[in-house]
Structure 1
Amino acid sequence: MKQLLKGNRVFKQEIDEARYLFLPEDRIKKYHYFYKAILIKKGDLLFPNRWINHEDSALITLDFFDSGNYEYMFFPNLIVKDIQNVLEDS
């Protein structure tokens, strides 16, 4: 059993019966998920044409994303929800 688990991640699914999925650890990647997000790199605040606008969902691997390269990150959907909650409470 140890040999089967070595170097793998195991995911268990239970519906009518238990099923297991074995995936090699080195094949599992972590991603940042951006949905309706606006990312502004350092020095680009005054140049909206340079802003990175993820209108739909986007997955970016951790290897290719460094938050230190960005000055601002806006998530308009989250801001709108916060504003709606504040207005409903008053």
Structure 2
Amino acid sequence: MQQRQAESEQGQRRRPEPPDWTVELGIGAGRPPIQVHAGDCHMAGKRRRPVDRDEARRLLTDGLRPCTHWTAPPAARTAAARPAPGGRSAPTGRTRAG
């Protein structure tokens, strides 16, 4: 029993951090991106790939939809309330709890 618990704890320590952002990919030729998700979002589908903050921001400004379940931190909500150049609102960043 102790060995099983030790192995479980070791697995938890070695687990990689989730990416800050992911992009959900579509079905079919080229698998076009569908939505941008926070890295730990439970609504991201199985077809996804990690992206850095700059690519996530570029995808959003190019018109890709953000996840409908994303809740911006208060500072980002304030910034998102102001229209960005081009008339779109986009998150300015993401904070990670924990």
Both proteins in one fold, TM over 0.5: no
With the length of structure 1 as denominator, give the TM-score of the two structures. 0.27
Higher strand share: 1
With CA pairs under 8 Å and 6+ residues apart, which has the higher RCO, 1 or 2?
A: 1
Q: Which has the larger radius of gyration?
A: 1
With the length of structure 2 as denominator, give the TM-score of the two structures. 0.26
